[in-house]
Amino acid sequence: MSEQDSGVDAERLLSAMPRHVAIIMDGNGRWAERRGKPRYRGHWAGVRAVRDVVRFCSDREIRALTLFAFSSENWRRPKREVGMLMELFLVSLRREVSKLHKENVRLRFIGELEAFPPRLLSHIRAAEEKTRDNSGLTLSVAANYGGRWDITQAARRIAERVAAGELQPAAVDPELLQSHLCLADLPEPDLFIRTGGEQRISNFLLWQLAYSELYFTETLWPDFNAESLEQAFAWFASRQRRFGMTGAQVESLKGA
């Protein structure tokens, strides 16, 4: 069977390294509570883990890294914790953007960003503009993001085009819908990681994770480091990715 017959991107099928890694950074609050500290201290501690993971992926020339920083459901958390998260976002942007820019990292944010305070939104836009032309790792931060929202906004935009006469309903297919989703210009995540012991995807990249390898670890996010990510990558390399094919078909592609 040829690569064309399989209908699968052979690089994605056979590569031992992920092109795109998506992570739910869970466990910050529990990390702090176990140390008798306020929950927000765990979020501050988690920034170090972000630095380690970004550096690791950049050094290994991973194409994209997407981090779930704040879900659309996180507004339900205690007001103090939400307020501290907003402050953390702001301080982190001030401290980290110049470093990311020097490392050729392109930073962008996905989600309903208009819900954030104007000062924070201004810093977000400035960070995206500063790093817009960088050609290294694309670091996407999902903030006030939800997978259902992502699919809904894509469907709404397509419906508007149909209503305006730009599209016929028959032209709406999975490829068209995907082109209107966040991260449409990136390969779909090959490896999904969730720290903190929970085993669910919590409304994160619902469409994009359809064929991702799902890796769950008990490690709390502030304790997650380069060694932890190395273990996740080794696990990924051990997986046989089939995308609906049989194992024999995959083996035949390796020998092609």
Task: List the catalytic residues.
Answer: 26, 74
Q: CA-CA distance, 159 to 230, in Å (whole number)?
A: 43
Tell whether the torsion through CA atoms of 31, 35, 39 and 44 is positive or negative.
negative
- Among 54, 8, 48, smallest CA distance to 28 is for 48
As given in the structure block, the two tokens for residue 217 are 């670890």
- Among 66, 70, 94, 95, smallest CA distance to 83 is for 70
| Alpha-carbon distance values, 202 to 25, 66, 194, 217 (Å) | 12, 15, 10, 15
> Is the separation of the CB atoms in 13 and 243 below 8 Å?
yes
